[in-house]
């Protein structure tokens, strides 16, 4: 119903009011489902979004209407390849005229007595997929000036979320983990940019984006390698771990570990003692709920590198990255979340 409503609205066959009414109903249902499972933090499923990353492109002034092809593609399960979604050019100074996720959060907060969690794409999303080619040099003479503006806009969004009572913010970061892949680094060099410089720039921008978050707001970073097919890039976290794990004002890291493409757990040794590693051991690409014993064994392996009381368990990503996807049914998702709660209770005790 939700996917059909979004598609009909985009095609002009459904009004915004009708679409929002359907979204409201589906969000209420998914919040009730999460609460019934015993989850202590709940989300709205990003049900109001075209996809996980589009909010800033759609919500800020300064981007072009037209979009151009991304530098990157990803491998599908059948061995084919598909380009990442197109992104706009930067044609004027970026201006935030409204909240990006503030309305989403306000609606969610009113529905639950649990902790409402809101997600934002990382600042790197506004540059990485096309790089400097998206910049009008008359507007932003260099990428550093542009990313300084991006960080300012994120601080505005974080401040408004905090004013609404947000205490749990997740930043979804794709660029940094996939730059652990030598092939991705080579693609970046081929377009005339330095991957090491970008890693430093993106880490600094993320740090600046959340630097003013209030003490009561917990910020975590989800390190994502793409959620369709086999994803965009592979490679363990070692090349970036020490720098990423040291980002100020970040309490924990959601780390995809559902397939060998993420490498082993040894980078967890670099996690500072005041940070958490949330292990994405459950795949969002397959319908089968992972066996409890297998998940517990993987947690035990990770605990050789970081204290067990600083480890958490989660799905590797969201169950879909946009309204177009339908890999899993609601029953599939329920089975996986029930298994997650079962294993967490067994390893750490009931919440």
Tokens of 219: 């910020």
Query: Residue 83: what pLDDT?
Result: 66
- CA-to-CA separations, 248 to 123, 198, 201, 209, 210, in angstroms, rounded: 15, 18, 14, 10, 8
Residue 90 in this model has a pLDDT that exceeds 80: yes
Residue 230 in this model has a pLDDT that exceeds 80: no
pLDDT band at residue 223 using 50, 70 and 90 as cut-offs: very high
Query: Residue 9: what pLDDT?
Result: 78
SS (H, E, C) 330-346: HHHHHHHHHHHHHHHHH
Out of 60-74, 109-123, 212-226, pick the least confident.
60-74
Contact present, 205 and 150 (Cβ < 8 Å): yes
Residue 188 in this model has a pLDDT that exceeds 70: yes
pLDDT band at residue 192 using 50, 70 and 90 as cut-offs: very high
Strands 118-121 and 73-75: unpaired
Quote the percentage of the chain above a pLDDT of 90: 74
| Number of CB atoms found within 10 A of residue 67's CB | 15
Higher pLDDT, 247 or 350: 247
Query: Residue 79: what pLDDT?
Result: 57
CA 47/CA 9 separation, integer angstroms: 14
Residue 103 in this model has a pLDDT that exceeds 70: yes
Residue 323 in this model has a pLDDT that exceeds 70: no
pLDDT band at residue 74 using 50, 70 and 90 as cut-offs: low
Query: Residue 8: what pLDDT?
Result: 80
CA 166/CA 103 separation, integer angstroms: 12
Query: Residue 318: what pLDDT?
Result: 80
Cα angle value 131/137/142 (rounded, 5°): 60
- pTM for the model: 0.92
Residue 75 in this model has a pLDDT that exceeds 70: no
Q: What number is the average pLDDT over the span 224-239?
A: 76
Contact present, 221 and 205 (Cβ < 8 Å): no
Q: What number is the average pLDDT over the span 68-85?
A: 69
Residue 100 in this model has a pLDDT that exceeds 90: yes
Query: Residue 132: what pLDDT?
Result: 97
Query: Residue 115: what pLDDT?
Result: 98
CA 308/CA 300 separation, integer angstroms: 8
Out of 1-5, 14-18, 95-99, 317-321, pick the least confident.
317-321
Contact present, 295 and 262 (Cβ < 8 Å): no
Bridge partners of 132, per DSSP, are none
Tokens of 288: 């089968």
Residue 227 in this model has a pLDDT that exceeds 80: no
Q: CB within 8 A of 71, min separation 6: which ones? A: 129, 130, 131, 187, 188, 191
Cα angle value 168/171/173 (rounded, 5°): 160
Residue 322 in this model has a pLDDT that exceeds 80: no
CA 151/CA 158 separation, integer angstroms: 10
Contact present, 190 and 166 (Cβ < 8 Å): no
């Amino acid at each position: 119903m939700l996917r059909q409503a979004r598609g009909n609205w985009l095609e002009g066959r459904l009004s915004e009011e009708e679409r929002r009414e359907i979204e409201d109903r589906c969000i209420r249902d998914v919040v009730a489902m999460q609460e019934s499972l015993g989850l202590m933090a709940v989300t709205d499923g990003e049900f109001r979004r075209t996809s996980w990353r589009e909010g800033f492109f759609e919500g800020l002034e300064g981007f072009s209407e037209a979009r151009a092809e991304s530098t990157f593609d990803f491998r599908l399960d059948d061995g084919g390849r598909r380009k990442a979604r197109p992104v706009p050019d930067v044609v004027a100074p970026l201006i935030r005229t409204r909240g990006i996720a503030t309305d989403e959060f306000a609606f969610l907060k009113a529905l639950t007595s649990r902790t409402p969690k809101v997600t934002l794409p990382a600042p790197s999303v506004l540059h990485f997929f096309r790089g400097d080619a998206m910049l009008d040099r008359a507007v932003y003479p260099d990428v550093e000036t542009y990313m300084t503006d991006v960080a300012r806009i994120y601080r505005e969004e974080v401040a408004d979320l905090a004013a609404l009572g947000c205490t749990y913010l997740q930043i979804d970061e794709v660029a940094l983990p996939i730059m652990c892949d030598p092939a991705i680094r080579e693609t970046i060099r081929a377009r005339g940019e330095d991957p090491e410089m970008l890693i430093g720039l993106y880490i600094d921008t993320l740090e600046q984006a959340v630097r003013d978050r209030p003490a009561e707001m917990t910020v975590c970073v989800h390190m994502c390698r793409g959620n369709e097919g086999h994803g965009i890039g592979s490679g363990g976290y070692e090349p970036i771990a020490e720098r990423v794990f040291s980002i100020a004002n970040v309490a924990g890291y959601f780390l995809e570990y559902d397939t060998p493409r993420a490498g082993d757990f040894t980078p967890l040794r670099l996690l500072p003692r005041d940070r958490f590693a949330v292990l994405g051991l459950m795949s969002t690409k397959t319908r089968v709920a992972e066996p409890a014993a297998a998940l517990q064994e993987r947690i035990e392996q990770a605990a050789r590198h970081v204290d067990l009381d600083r480890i958490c368990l989660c799905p590797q990503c969201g169950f879909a990255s946009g309204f177009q996807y339908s890999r899993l049914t609601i029953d599939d998702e329920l089975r996986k979340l029930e298994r997650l709660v079962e294993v967490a209770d067994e390893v750490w005790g009931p919440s």
